[in-house]
Amino acid sequence: MDFLGSADWILLLKQSKNALLLGGIYALIAVGYTMVYGIIKLINFAHGEVFMVGAFAGVLLIGAGVSFWTAMLVSMAICGLLGVLIDQVAYRPLRQAPRLAALITAMGVSIFLQNLAMLLWGSGQRPFPDLRPEYEVTLLPAEEVDPAELREQVAEPLAETIGRLEESEYEGFQNRMLEIRQRIADLEESGNRSSEDYRELKRTLAREEIPPVFVYHNSLFRQRQFEERGASDADPEYQKVREQVLQYREKFALVREVSIEEEEGRVRVAVRFPPGTEYTRVTQVLNGSWKLVVTSAIQKKIGAIDREQKKREHYFQGEALRLGGDEEGEVSEVFIVFWKDLCVLLVALLMMAGLDLLVRRTRVGKAMRASSMDKATAALMGIRVNRIIAITFATGSAMAAVGGVLYGLYLGSGIYFRMGFYAGVIAFAAAVLGGIGNIRGAMLGGFLLGLIEVYSRAYLTRWLEIEANWDKGFAFAVLILVILIRPSGILGKPESKRA
């Protein structure tokens, strides 16, 4: 059997890429578990929630217009401080308490952070924001178009045209709802409440939820009404409407800026969206009927445009490598490595390499290893053990923050309040598989679990004809098998107790 023929090897490459990326993220989380356990012999079950906070921090910062790399650094700082806070408030008072007390406290902190995230950011999933949502149209040569005149005649009218189209969507939605309600009222007056038409209309009305973008325009309309009446700033209703407008404006205002620029003898019109605009919204605007509105708005002003129209993407969305899909059509599958994939893998590897150097080659790392071996003796040698423990929590939490931001970049969605629980369980299993307390073992365990999970989902579940959800079951089965053969993990060393 030619397993690597045509589409088979493409599928293998795709799954290998996914396994390495997912394994790298698991490894970043796992090192936090193993670092804390190595020093204070505690399984920090709240570590998964630190990963979740890091993902939310990255998404919110990028959505506010902060660059990706800055958002990652700030997220690391936030989670580092959160890790220290968890240690000082929840774990330090229990240093001398039985291990069970600290373990129960860790579970309590995990549940508290989950519920706090749900209260702050809601229970729904958040997509990873598009890093640079922009659409450009290259116009006629610059000598035929005056850029200054074009800015005045096109930029503002273009934004207004798209805004009016979005408002017309809202009006159409309102008219549809009014029509349904009127038909329901007519059936009620005629005594046809038991008819199938009546029940279907009621079900339709129940299903129709007002999209948030329409809520924004409704709030904007009500704000204008208040302003026309000369409402006082102290009016609570007016204040509420203004808060709603501010809340939705950043997310749902369709066009932030329309710029006209001269570039290499041509005039370029760039339509930019608000930072953090949801990716699905951007693609709807760029590829759907909205594209015609953009084109027609420009054509009305200058008469003609070139066919060169494209979306300007962030460099992360660009292709770094493409295999397959030849011109003769012999290979239908295509293997693509995007720059964001390389970013996820390289950042994960660099962070883990940096952590390994920190632990093995620096004074702080020596202090960490000494405290891990014997805290009492380390303290007698002048090491401030509590400070080293705090640094350990901060370092492990910062690694989890990097994992959270990379997770959002890799998947593009799935950021929600319970994401830390599932990822945390897998990462903890990776730490145990590699050898709890061994940093290199945690890294190895993360990559191994990523490979097992992805390959079992792609191949083993199909071969056994079972659901793909069993992939994590196979990963834990391998974990159990390894522990039965080698209880200390792959790279772990058995603990020897002195007589």
Percentage of the chain modeled with pLDDT above 70: 69
The model's pLDDT over 83-104, given as tens digits with 9 standing for 90+, comes to: 999 999 999 998 888 888 988 9
- 160 found inside a domain: yes
The model's pLDDT over 111-132, given as tens digits with 9 standing for 90+, comes to: 999 999 998 888 777 878 766 5
Cα–Cα distance for residue pair 494/484, rounded to 1 Å: 13
Other C-beta atoms within 10 Å of 92: how many? 14
Other C-beta atoms within 10 Å of 144: how many? 11
- Domain count for the chain, please give it: 2
Other C-beta atoms within 10 Å of 379: how many? 15
Cα 298 from chain centre: 35
pLDDT band of residue 252 (cuts 50, 70, 90) is very low
pLDDT band of residue 329 (cuts 50, 70, 90) is very low
pLDDT at 499: 45
Residue with the bigger pLDDT between 455 and 496: it is: 455
Cα 155 from chain centre: 32
* Contact status, residue 99 vs residue 39, Cβ threshold 8 Å: no
- Shared domain for 148 and 262, answered yes or no, is yes
Residue with the bigger pLDDT between 194 and 372: it is: 372
- 401 found inside a domain: yes
* Contact status, residue 376 vs residue 438, Cβ threshold 8 Å: no
CA separation (Å) from 483 to 439, 448, 479? 17, 14, 6
Specify burial of residue 154 (Cβ count, 10 A radius: 0-12, 13-18, 19+): buried
- Shared domain for 140 and 125, answered yes or no, is no
The DSSP line for 421-477 is HHHHHHHHHHHHHH-TT-HHHHHHHHHHHHHHHHHIIIIIHHHHT--GGGHHHHHHH
Residue with the bigger pLDDT between 26 and 465: it is: 26
The model scores a pTM over 0.75: no
Element spanning 210, H or E: none
pLDDT band of residue 173 (cuts 50, 70, 90) is low
Domain range spanning residue 258? 134-312
Paired strand residues for 258: 271
* Contact status, residue 25 vs residue 344, Cβ threshold 8 Å: yes
State the pairing for strand pair 334-338/309-312: unpaired
pLDDT at 28: 94
pLDDT band of residue 248 (cuts 50, 70, 90) is low
The model's pLDDT over 374-423, given as tens digits with 9 standing for 90+, comes to: 888 999 988 999 999 999 999 999 999 999 999 999 888 788 899 998 88
- Shared domain for 187 and 276, answered yes or no, is yes
- Shared domain for 138 and 116, answered yes or no, is no
pLDDT band of residue 265 (cuts 50, 70, 90) is low
Cα–Cα distance for residue pair 444/401, rounded to 1 Å: 19
Q: Dig out the tokens for 416 from the structure.
A: 């929600």
Q: Mean pLDDT over all residues of the chain?
A: 77
Domain limit, last residue, from 366, 386, 419 = 419
488 Cβ contact partners less than 8 Å away, ≥ 6 residues apart: 435, 494, 495
State the pairing for strand pair 334-338/319-324: antiparallel
Paired strand residues for 262: 267
pLDDT at 343: 93
Residue 346 has pLDDT above 70, yes or no: yes
- Shared domain for 260 and 373, answered yes or no, is no
State the pairing for strand pair 334-338/257-263: unpaired
The model's pLDDT over 52-92, given as tens digits with 9 standing for 90+, comes to: 999 999 988 887 778 889 999 999 999 999 999 999 999 99
The DSSP line for 108-170 is HHHHHHHHHHHHHH-SS-BPPPPSS-EEEEEEEEGGGS-HHHHIIIIIHHHHHHHHHHHHHHH
**Which amino acid belongs to residue 350?**
L
Cα–Cα distance for residue pair 461/468, rounded to 1 Å: 6
- 376 found inside a domain: yes
- 456 found inside a domain: no
Cα 198 from chain centre: 42
* Contact status, residue 162 vs residue 293, Cβ threshold 8 Å: yes
Give me the mean pLDDT over the 20-48 stretch: 91
- Shared domain for 144 and 282, answered yes or no, is yes
- 470 found inside a domain: no
- Shared domain for 34 and 113, answered yes or no, is yes
Cα–Cα distance for residue pair 402/398, rounded to 1 Å: 6
Residue with the bigger pLDDT between 115 and 316: it is: 115
pLDDT at 162: 53
Cα–Cα distance for residue pair 170/176, rounded to 1 Å: 10
- 492 found inside a domain: no
Element spanning 263, H or E: strand 257-263
- 464 found inside a domain: no
The residue among 435, 430, 449, 439 whose CA lies nearest residue 491 is 435
* Contact status, residue 317 vs residue 145, Cβ threshold 8 Å: no
- In 3-state terms, what secondary structure has residue 41? coil
* Contact status, residue 176 vs residue 319, Cβ threshold 8 Å: no
- Shared domain for 99 and 143, answered yes or no, is no
pLDDT at 7: 63
Residue 221 has pLDDT above 80, yes or no: no
- How big is the CA angle at 23 (ends 18 and 29), to the nearest 5 degrees? 135
pLDDT at 298: 53
Residue with the bigger pLDDT between 115 and 152: it is: 115
**Which amino acid belongs to residue 403?**
G
- Shared domain for 259 and 210, answered yes or no, is yes
Residue 142 has pLDDT above 70, yes or no: no
Residue 251 has pLDDT above 50, yes or no: no
pLDDT at 87: 93
- In 3-state terms, what secondary structure has residue 293? helix
- Shared domain for 87 and 198, answered yes or no, is no
Domain limit, last residue, from 419, 450, 471 = 419
Domain limit, last residue, from 279, 312, 345 = 312
pLDDT at 170: 55
Q: Which of 89-103, 151-165, 323-337, 354-368 has the lowest mean pLDDT?
A: 151-165
Q: Which of 190-199, 244-253, 352-361, 395-404 has the lowest mean pLDDT?
A: 244-253
Cα–Cα distance for residue pair 269/216, rounded to 1 Å: 27
Cα–Cα distance for residue pair 495/499, rounded to 1 Å: 13
- Shared domain for 121 and 141, answered yes or no, is no
- Shared domain for 169 and 298, answered yes or no, is yes
Give me the mean pLDDT over the 450-461 stretch: 88
pLDDT at 448: 93
Rg of the chain over Cα atoms, rounded to whole angstroms, equals 28
- 67 found inside a domain: yes
Residue 3 has pLDDT above 90, yes or no: no
Cα–Cα distance for residue pair 433/23, rounded to 1 Å: 13
